[in-house]
Amino acid sequence: MREPAVVEMLSRQADQLKDELEPMLEHTATTPETMRLMTLAQQVKGALRSVEPRPEFVADLKSRLRTEGLRLRQQDTQTQLHTVERRRAFTWLAAGVGGMLCVAGMAFMGAKAATALTSVLAGWLGWKATQPMPVVKLTK
């Protein structure tokens, strides 16, 4: 491991140890063992120096993150445009199929209505044809 990583790891462990021991000291009797642990945690914390990144590193990291963010945003925009185009094509396809089904349904209903009308008309004409003809007497 590199030195900054080791320092950071030790600092976190010292903070964690100190944070865990302080509540215990408030609620329990102070023993020599806990006092030694507290002293050790304070020594480790005191021996570590705070680490800040170099300004060049920060500037380089920010520029790389911005560049990557712009690239991802452009890629996301292109993906969204492609998705919108596909949805639009699917919508037109669905509208076309729906229109054709509507026309076919109306044609079917029209044919059924025409068949029913001719059946009614044929039945009425057939009923009239079965009536006896009135007898007309011719006198001379």
pLDDT tens-place string over residues 1-12: 567 777 778 778
Mean residue pLDDT of the chain comes to: 81
How is residue 92 written in tokens?
């037109």
Q: Specify the pTM.
A: 0.36
For residue 19, what pLDDT band results from cuts at 50, 70 and 90? confident
For residue 120, what pLDDT band results from cuts at 50, 70 and 90? confident
Averaged over 40-67, what is the pLDDT?
Answer: 83
- Alpha-carbon distance of 104 to 85, in angstroms, equals 29
Give residue 133's pLDDT: 67
- Alpha-carbon distance of 83 to 116, in angstroms, equals 49
Determine contact, residues 21/45, Cβ cutoff 8 Å: no
Give residue 7's pLDDT: 74
